[in-house]
Amino acid sequence: MPADYHTHTPLCMHAEGEPEQFVAAAVSAGISEYGISDHAPAQPEPFDNWRMLESQLPDYFEWIERAKAAANNQIPIRAGMECDWLSGCEPWIESLRQRYPWDYLIGSVHYLDGWDFDNPAWLGKWAKIDIEDAWTRYWKSYADMAESGLFDLLGHPDLIKKFDYRPDGDLRKFYEPVIDAIASSGCAIEINTAGWHKPCAEAYPEPSFLDLAYSAGIPLVLSSDAHAPSELGRDFDRAIAVAKQAGYTETLLFKQGQRSYEPLP
């Protein structure tokens, strides 16, 4: 199975499991590499209740080192973080990149003007807003994130659809400018299988976005967004089929900022 680079730890306060359990699950699932990429701290603190604090970064580094020790050369362990794209965040992300010898950093958009739109706690807001406007602002943020050059991998591209609120009409009008920005940046995207387990009942991104990404030459990884050991590599068989249908024949690997590829099985 391909590498799984988007996974979490209990430090984000909504995941469970110990490093040794994740490593054992990764080996059992047959994934080629296990990447750890918990939610990075954000400023000012406390920012929200679903990420580690800056003071917990040493605990995160220890978690990664425990995973490497548990792997004992059975499987490569890759170190990353999932960083939120927020207004004025660039200096903070640059400082985080200096804190550890990361293999990669994931950039994600979870916030629109202070609203973490994918948080079930604020689900009711979706019924009160202009969906077209929310999508427009989301994709503008996503393009800005790609153009920043701060990230190696961009997370769950169409997370905005999580609760199945979508504008009417052809959604490619949102996708095409973003595809251009991602392709120019050289970033990779992911097929994030967690979407199959959310109200949208669809992996992130949807097939038409993935078709455009392949045509633009954007590299791909597969991700489970695991919040428990049992979720590592979840639905990768389905994701492989979706990737192949779009035209992909390989996925990207990261090691200390260097890239290589592995063929899809």
- 0.85 exceeded by pTM: yes
Maximal C-alpha separation, the chain: 52
Q: What is the pLDDT of residue 97?
A: 97
Task: Determine the Cα–Cα distance for residues 7 and 97; give it in Å rounded to an integer.
Answer: 18
Angle CA 127–205–101, to nearest 5 = 110
Specify the residue for token string 């979870």. Answer: 110
Angle CA 171–172–175, to nearest 5 = 105
Instruction: Count the residues in the chain.
Output: 265
Instruction: Dump strand ranges (E) for 101-203.
Output: 104-108, 111-112, 115-116, 153-154, 188-192
Query: Which residues on neighbouring strands pair with residue 262, listed in sequence order?
Result: 251
Selection from 161, 152, 241 nearest residue 194 by Cα: 161
Q: How would residue 119 be classed by pLDDT, with cut points 50, 70 and 90?
A: very high
Instruction: Dump strand ranges (E) for 53-203.
Output: 77-84, 104-108, 111-112, 115-116, 153-154, 188-192
Q: What is the pLDDT of residues 89-117, one digit of tens each?
A: 999 999 999 999 999 999 999 999 999 99
Q: What is the pLDDT of residue 195?
A: 98
Predicted confidence (pLDDT) at residue 2 exceeds the cutoff of 90 = yes
DSSP secondary structure, 199-250, as one string: TT-SPBSPHHHHHHHHHTT--EEEE--BSSGGGTTTTHHHHHHHHHHHT--E
Task: Determine the Cα–Cα distance for residues 226 and 37; give it in Å rounded to an integer.
Answer: 10
Q: What is the pLDDT of residues 25-63, one digit of tens each?
A: 999 999 999 999 999 999 999 999 999 999 999 999 999
Compute the average pLDDT of residues 252-265. 96
Task: Determine the Cα–Cα distance for residues 35 and 23; give it in Å rounded to an integer.
Answer: 10
Q: What is the pLDDT of residues 61-70, one digit of tens each?
A: 999 999 999 9
DSSP H or E run through 253? strand 250-255
DSSP H or E run through 261? strand 258-263
The full set of domain ranges for the chain reads 80-263
Q: What is the pLDDT of residue 79?
A: 98
Buried b or exposed e, range 55-76, using 16+ CB within 10 angstroms: ebbeebeebbebbbebbeeebb
Q: What are phi and psi of 75, to 5 degrees?
A: -155, 140
Tokens of 240: 């492989």
Q: What is the pLDDT of residues 79-90, one digit of tens each?
A: 999 999 999 999
CATH superfamily membership of 80-263: Metal-dependent hydrolases (3.20.20.140)
Average pLDDT score over the chain: 97
Collect all residues with Cβ–Cβ distance below 8 Å to 251 and sequence separation of at least 6: 2, 3, 219, 220, 221, 222, 243, 261, 262, 264
The tally of CA atoms less than 13 A away on the side-chain side of residue 235 is: 20
Q: What is the pLDDT of residues 122-152, one digit of tens each?
A: 999 999 999 999 999 999 999 999 999 999 9
Q: How would residue 257 be classed by pLDDT, with cut points 50, 70 and 90?
A: confident
Q: What is the pLDDT of residues 155-174, one digit of tens each?
A: 999 999 999 999 999 999 99
